[in-house]
Structure formats: structure tokens, C-alpha cells
């Protein structure tokens, strides 16, 4: 079985950019007509992906205020402290539309998850762990957020695999492509023939593989193998400027310039920590190796560091790693309380879903009941060019 998890806030922001010329300050989303176009654009984009894959379950993850904002960062203003919302946008209208869209998706039998103090990334990580590990089912996360690539992996069970993948459907630029991020053994699994059951020929078709093939063979989609573990480790050591997360350690050189752990320095530290060439270092083992890490950073920086490395590693793990081991217990408990109810939702055939189906009975389609998806695409194209 293949499950779709949408990063709804990410998709909404991408839709705002396309529909409203977000960066060029064309739309403010003050008017109802502008909000209507945003709603229809989100519905078109999501319906397209659902039709492409026809998943067994659909989950929408939404942002709440992040618990990471309460983590003290001595080096700067704090987690996402430099993020500024565009002042020309009517964010109240945008968020109201997003909430309404979420309610519509729930009424269509889809799972909508929002947990207080958790980001959409946290919610996605919790669902991915539950579905892949406990249910042994595949996951396709739909998002343009590259941070989610750290969740890409495979889980072996009963001589089989369940995969978590990330699908970025957004194409920007003349030669851009969609991306399906997969783990090391995915292609081998996808291309391995299945045993033929001559008594049940239908049973010989692996529908899960067919779901993935539909994505790969769709227009301008590239398969990219990534190591989710290494993506998480790099963020721990190198930080993330986009989220205002500093490197694990920075220092001043003899010219008073700030030096930080870069990718090349991280590679050297990683090699210092490996006791044999094939060893794989994972984030969960970093705390117990804090003394070794301090020694390695001292060697790289040539600094006599007075720093509690255990605490620093613990901070970095909480700030960047999408693993429930580092989430607040309250968030885990809320998820545990609701997951069973959500998983019991009846399965729906989404194979022919379109924008009108998602927005049926609302003003977003009732006022233009003769309009089809092709017409709406043309309308959006006239504004800023199409996304898909």
C-alpha cells in the first residue's frame, strides 16, 4: 500500500507564488476573488498528484507554532528568528483559506493532522514512522522542502522493504524537473521482477511498484538517490541558515572573521569518528560520543574549546533532526491519542479525483460551474505561468 503525505503549508506557499506573483507583490489576497484562485490552484495541484498515484491513504500535515522556538540559541536570535512575513500579504485571509481547505479535505475522507506546538515536518515524521515501521507500508511525502529528505529510507521486514520517499512536484526554471528522492535500495527493489503466480495473474502485479512508476514516468521527473542519515548529520554539524540554526561550533580566525563547520570540515570530522571504513554514524549515537566529537572539532578548528559538547549536540539534535526521540512528550502523546482514529477512516478510490470533486458544494466551483480544470489552468497561466 502507498500512502501520500502532503506538506500542506509548503504547497499553499508555492500556490501563492504561482497564482499571485507572490514575490512581485501582485496579489495581496485581500479580495475574495484572489483567495478563490488560491483555493482552486491548491485543489488542482493536489488532485493532479492524487490522480497520478491513486494512493490508499491521504494525509495532510499542517504547521502550528514550533516548540523549537523555545530552545535557546546563544549565537543568534533563535530558531527561525530571521524569518519575516511579507507585509503586503493578508495572512489572515490566507490562513482562513488554508483552514477551510483542510476542513474540505477531511470531509472528503482524508486525514488532516495539526498538532499544537508541532511543525508540519514533525507531523510528517510521526506519520512516516508509524506507517512505514508499524504498518509496513510505503510513503510518498509531497513537498518542496528539502529538509524532509532526511526522512528518506527503507525498512526491511519479512524479506521485503517499505520505503519512505519525497516527491517534489515543483518545477522552477526552463530546464527544471520534478524530483523523486529515494534511498539506496529503491531502484533495485523497483526493477526486481516478482515471482509469477500462474493461478492468480492479477496477483503478480505489484501495485505499489506501479504507483512509483507512474511518478517516475510522468513528465520531467527525475529519480535522485539520497542518504537521509547523512542529510541529518550535515545539518547537525553545519547548521541551517534558512532556519537560523548555527553550526555546531564556530570560531574567530586570526583576522577576526567567523569560521564555522562547513561541508568539507564535516567530512573530515566524520572520517575521524569512524573506527573502520564501513562504519555508519547515526544521529542517535552522537551524544555518547561527545568527547570524541569535541576532540575532532578541536583538531579541525585548532582551537582550545571550552564547551559542553554534550549539551551542544543535544541542542542540535532537537533543532534539526526529524525523529520523535527528540520531540516533546506532549506532541508524541497527542499523536498517539489520535492516530488510531485517523487510521480507521474508510478507504476511498481517488483515481478520478479532480478539482471540482475536492471543492464540490463550495463557492469556489458553484459560481463557475461550467469551468473545467483546463480552463482554470489557462486562467492561472495568464497570471504567472503554470506550476505543473
- Mean pLDDT of the region 21-32: 75
Instruction: Give per-residue burial for 282-312: e unless 16+ CB within 10 Å, then b.
Output: ebeebeebbeebbbbbeebbebeeeeebbeb
Contact indicator for 233, 283 with CB cutoff of 8 Å: yes
pLDDT confidence of residue 191: 92
The three three-digit cell numbers of residue 260, written as one number: 564555522
User: How far is the C-alpha of 129 from the C-alpha of 137, rounded, in Å?
Assistant: 10
163-218 confidence digits (pLDDT tens): 999 999 988 767 788 999 999 999 999 998 755 443 444 444 578 898 899 899 88
Q: How confident is the model at residue 129 (pLDDT cuts 50, 70, 90)?
A: very high
Longest Cα separation, the chain: 76
- Contacts of 27-32 with CB under 8 Å at 24 or more apart are 28/88, 28/89, 28/90, 29/89, 29/90, 29/93, 29/94, 29/97, 30/90, 30/93
Report pLDDT digits (tens) over 46-98.
999 999 888 999 999 999 999 999 999 999 999 998 888 888 899 999 999 99
Lowest mean pLDDT among 89-93, 109-113, 197-201, 342-346: 197-201
Confidence at 22, pLDDT banded by 50, 70, 90: low
Query: pTM to 2 decimals?
Result: 0.90
The average confidence (pLDDT) of the chain is: 88
Q: What does the pLDDT look like over 214-266, one tens digit per residue?
A: 899 887 899 999 999 999 999 999 999 999 999 999 998 888 888 999 999 99
DSSP 196: P
To the nearest whole percent, how much of the chain has pLDDT over 90? 66
Amino acid at each position: 500500500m502507498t500512502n501520500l503525505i502532503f506538506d500542506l503549508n509548503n504547497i499553499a506557499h508555492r500556490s501563492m507564488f504561482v497564482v499571485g506573483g507572490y514575490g512581485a507583490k501582485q496579489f495581496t489576497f485581500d479580495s475574495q476573488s484572489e483567495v478563490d484562485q488560491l483555493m482552486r490552484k491548491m485543489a488542482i495541484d493536489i488532485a493532479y498528484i492524487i490522480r497520478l498515484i491513486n494512493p490508499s491513504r491521504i494525509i495532510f500535515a499542517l504547521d502550528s507554532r514550533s516548540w523549537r522556538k523555545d530552545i535557546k540559541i546563544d549565537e543568534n536570535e533563535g530558531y527561525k528568528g530571521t524569518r519575516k512575513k511579507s507585509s503586503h500579504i493578508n495572512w489572515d485571509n490566507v490562513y482562513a483559506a488554508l483552514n477551510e481547505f483542510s476542513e474540505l479535505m477531511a470531509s472528503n475522507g482524508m486525514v488532516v493532522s495539526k498538532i499544537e506546538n508541532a511543525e508540519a515536518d514533525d507531523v510528517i515524521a510521526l506519520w512516516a514512522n508509524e506507517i512505514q515501521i508499524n504498518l509496513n507500508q510505503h510513503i510518498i511525502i509531497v513537498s518542496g522542502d528539502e529538509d524532509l529528505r532526511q526522512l528518506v529510507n527503507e525498512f526491511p521486514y519479512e524479506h521485503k522493504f517499505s520505503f519512505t520517499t519525497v516527491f517534489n512536484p515543483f518545477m522552477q526554471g526552463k530546464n527544471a524537473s520534478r524530483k523523486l528522492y529515494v534511498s539506496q535500495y529503491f531502484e533495485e527493489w523497483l526493477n526486481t521482477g516478482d515471482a509469477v503466480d500462474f493461478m492468480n495473474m492479477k496477483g503478480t502485479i505489484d501495485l505499489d511498484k506501479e504507483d512509483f512508476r507512474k511518478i517516475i514516468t510522468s513528465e520531467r521527473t527525475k529519480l535522485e538517490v539520497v542518504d537521509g542519515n547523512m542529510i541529518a548529520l550535515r545539518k547537525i554539524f553545519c547548521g541551517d541558515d534558512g532556519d537560523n540554526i548555527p553550526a555546531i561550533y564556530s570560531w574567530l580566525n586570526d583576522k577576526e572573521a567567523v569560521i564555522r563547520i562547513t561541508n568539507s570540515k564535516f567530512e573530515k570530522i566524520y572520517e575521524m569518528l569512524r573506527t573502520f571504513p564501513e562504519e555508519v554514524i547515526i544521529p542517535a549515537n552522537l551524544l555518547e560520543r561527545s568527547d570524541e566529537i569535541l576532540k575532532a572539532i578541536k583538531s579541525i578548528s585548532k582551537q582550545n574549546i571550552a564547551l559542553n559538547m554534550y549539551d551542544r549536540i543535544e541542542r542540535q539534535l532537537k533543532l534539526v533532526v526529524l525523529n520523535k526521540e527528540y520531540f516533546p512528550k506532549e506532541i508524541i502523546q497527542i499523536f498517539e491519542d489520535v492516530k488510531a482514529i485517523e487510521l480507521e477512516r474508510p478507504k476511498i478510490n481517488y483515481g478520478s479525483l479532480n478539482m471540482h470533486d475536492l471543492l464540490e458544494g463550495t463557492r469556489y466551483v458553484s459560481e463557475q460551474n461550467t469551468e473545467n480544470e483546463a480552463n482554470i489552468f489557462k486562467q492561472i497561466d495568464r497570471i504567472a505561468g503554470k506550476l505543473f
